[in-house]
């Protein structure tokens, strides 16, 4: 009887660990799909759908917003990207690599490009760390060289 109880306990532990690994893989897969969808919305300039991927108020670290972490509402996200797309109507992000960094973080390397009204083009390498909780982006920490 004692061996049966130990075997049953060991089986329960193995199943529990297996379930956690499956859950973790599913979470990582969902996070990657979320970020791929994010860049799809970005390249379609669908700022409303893109903003709905964030929590009501998300934290941003972005050189265009200053040196500190700032909170932005969905409305502010829509406004920021709408204004940016007015300056660069062909604004596009090309993802080079997506790194899954634990259950809550996705790091993305990409290049942003576009053409200004004066016909000058830009290419800007960018790295963003997204924090994702419950299927929503809670933090968007973006890094690029803005001193050119």
Domains in the chain: ranges and CATH: 2-143 (3.10.450.50)
The dihedral over CA atoms of 69, 70, 75, 78, expressed in degrees to the nearest 10, equals: -40
- Rounded to two decimals, the pTM is 0.82
Query: What does the pLDDT profile of the chain (148 residues) look like in tens digits?
Result: 566 545 545 545 555 555 556 686 888 889 999 999 999 999 999 999 999 999 999 999 999 899 999 999 999 999 999 999 999 999 999 999 999 998 999 999 999 999 999 999 999 999 999 999 999 999 999 999 876 5
Report the C-alpha gap between 3 and 78 in whole angstroms: 62
Report the C-alpha gap between 8 and 80 in whole angstroms: 57
């Amino acid at each position: 009887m004692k061996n049966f109880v130990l075997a049953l306990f060991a089986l329960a532990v193995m199943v529990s660990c297996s379930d956690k690994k499956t859950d973790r893989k599913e979470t990582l897969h969902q996070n990657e799909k979320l970020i791929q969808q994010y860049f799809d919305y970005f390249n379609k300039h669908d700022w409303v759908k893109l903003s709905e991927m964030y929590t009501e108020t998300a934290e941003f670290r972005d050189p265009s917003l200053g040196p500190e972490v700032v909170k932005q509402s969905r409305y502010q996200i829509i406004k920021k990207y709408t204004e940016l797309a007015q300056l660069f109507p062909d604004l596009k992000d090309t993802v080079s690599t997506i790194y899954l960094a634990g259950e809550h973080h996705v790091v993305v390397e990409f290049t942003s490009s576009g053409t200004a009204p004066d016909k000058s083009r830009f290419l800007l390498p960018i790295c963003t760390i997204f924090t994702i909780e419950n299927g929503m982006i809670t933090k968007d920490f973006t890094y690029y060289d803005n001193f050119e």
